[in-house]
Chains A and B, each alone.
Chain A
Amino acid sequence: MAHQIKRLTRRKFLAATGGFGIAAILAPRAAAQLNRTQPNNMPEVITRLVGPAKVNEGKVKIMLPPLVENGHLVPLTVRVDSPMTEADHVKAIHVFTDKNPLPEVISFHLGPRAGRASIGTRVRLADTETVVAIAQLSDGSFWSDRAHVVVTTAACLEEL
């Protein structure tokens, strides 16, 4: 009887430690999965901006380094091919990302007084992701360009 109890406890002990072992293997994986940034609602936000209009490819040129070491400070330039006259100009340049906590980055509203449709800034990137620039023209059309950026040290690593 005593022997049986001992065996049972040993079995329980093994089951318990085995469980710990599995937990120890799985926990970091689960944590890593939680840490990995999920795609945000970028398509939805773009649809809300554009409405029923179609987003065309072209006219816009987004310039970003293809590989960045520091996601906290990524230089970004967006240029749009436009004469910038009263009749034909870029009304706004919007920038979005697909894996930052929020898809919106910046909305730059321009007009014919800008002379040239070219803006620059520095952005934060939370992960290796795609950055999309959408230009809204005075005739109501939308044009876009996208760039894929590989980020080695992400911004917002501390979050969660």
Chain B
Amino acid sequence: MANARIEVPKTAKRGDIIDIRTLISHNMETGYRRDYLGVPLPRDIITHFECKYNGVEVCHAVLHPAISANPYLTFSTVATESGTLEFTWTGDNGFTFSESASITVA
């Protein structure tokens, strides 16, 4: 099963821009490769990523096969209030994975 790592600062000052880094384990099979018998390997990638801050969307991304295996994404957001940041990845073959991180805003 997938495993995700997230880096969000534990504390921040109100109004600060915080950097967020996410990494999830996933093969990101492009659909352009073949196995050793020459049989094409079907595409199996993460297609969507979403980040919500206390239920409000901060950003979302559409991923394509050109994203490397174990997708790594970095972006930023404004620390507005204490709460949780929720990250969701969805993809082919019903793949879905969520992870959250809490932040205290002073």
Task: Flag if A102 contacts B77 (CB, 8 Å).
Answer: no
Name B66's contact: one of A110, A111, A124, A159 (CB within 8 Å). Answer: A124
Task: Flag if B76 contacts A106 (CB, 8 Å).
Answer: no
* Interface 9-residue window, one of B1-9, B52-60, B86-94, B95-103: B52-60
Task: Flag if B78 contacts A115 (CB, 8 Å).
Answer: yes
B73 an interface residue at 8 Å Cβ cutoff? Answer: yes
Name A110's contact: one of B33, B59, B63, B72 (CB within 8 Å). Answer: B59
B22 CB to nearest A CB, Å:
10
| Tier of interface size on chain A | 20 to 34
User: Known contacts A102-B64, A106-B61, A113-B58; is A159 also within 8 Å of B73 by CB?
Assistant: no
User: Which residues of chain A are near B67, meaning CB under 8 Å?
Assistant: 105-106, 121-124
Measured between alpha carbons, how far is A118 from B17 in the docked complex, in Å? 11
User: Which residues of chain B are near A115, meaning CB under 8 Å?
Assistant: 17-18, 76-78
Task: Flag if A121 contacts B78 (CB, 8 Å).
Answer: no
A144 an interface residue at 8 Å Cβ cutoff? Answer: no
* Chain B contact residues: helix, strand, loop or mixed: strand
Name B73's contact: one of A74, A100, A116, A120 (CB within 8 Å). Answer: A120
A59 an interface residue at 8 Å Cβ cutoff? Answer: no
Q: Which residue of B lies closest to A117 (CB)?
A: B76
Q: Which residue of B lies closest to A104 (CB)?
A: B64
B25 an interface residue at 8 Å Cβ cutoff? Answer: no
B34 an interface residue at 8 Å Cβ cutoff? Answer: yes
User: Which residues of chain B are near A102, meaning CB under 8 Å?
Assistant: 64-66
Task: Flag if B74 contacts A72 (CB, 8 Å).
Answer: no
B7 CB to nearest A CB, Å:
12
Interface positions of A (Cβ within 8 A of B): 72-74, 77, 97, 100-102, 104-111, 113-116, 118-125, 156, 158-159
Interface positions of B (Cβ within 8 A of A): 17-18, 30, 32-34, 53, 56-69, 71-78, 80
Q: Which 3 A-B pairs have the closest CB atoms?
A: A115-B17, A120-B74, A115-B78
